[in-house]
Amino acid sequence: MMLAMLNGLITSIIFETVILYNAKFSLLDALKTAFSMSFISMIAMETAMNVTDYALTGGAILTWWVIPISLLVGFLTPWPYNYWRLQKFGKSCH
């Protein structure tokens, strides 16, 4: 499960860095922004998805019927943090 979380975080950071770099950020600024803008949300999402998988299957066994449930839980988990961030700072992380 830790490997899945690490892969999810790395993939997300790479994806965000590429998007920001294509939006005319310097490579270093794009990487710094990708790390800072949604790292907590990504960790929460990955953790929630893995906990859901573990709770429903009794282990790190990904089956077809767990995937939609796990994706929904992973999608909903960062919403409170993102809402708080919008309220506190008046801006989104994207």
Amino acid code (one letter) for 27: L
pTM for this predicted structure: 0.72
67: in domain:
yes
Indicate left, alpha or beta for 58 from its phi (over 0: left) and psi (-120 to 50: alpha). Answer: left
Name which residue leads in pLDDT, 44 or 1.
44
75: in domain:
yes
Question: What is the rounded distance in angstroms from the CA atom of residue 18 to the CA atom of residue 3?
Answer: 22
Determine the structural domain holding residue 12 and report its residue range: 2-89
94: in domain:
no
Chain segment 2-34, per-residue pLDDT in tens: 887 888 889 889 998 999 899 989 999 889 888
Token pair for 44: 């929460």
15: in domain:
yes
What is the count of structural domains for the chain? 1
Question: What is the rounded distance in angstroms from the CA atom of residue 63 to the CA atom of residue 74?
Answer: 16
What is the DSSP code (8-state) at residue 65? T
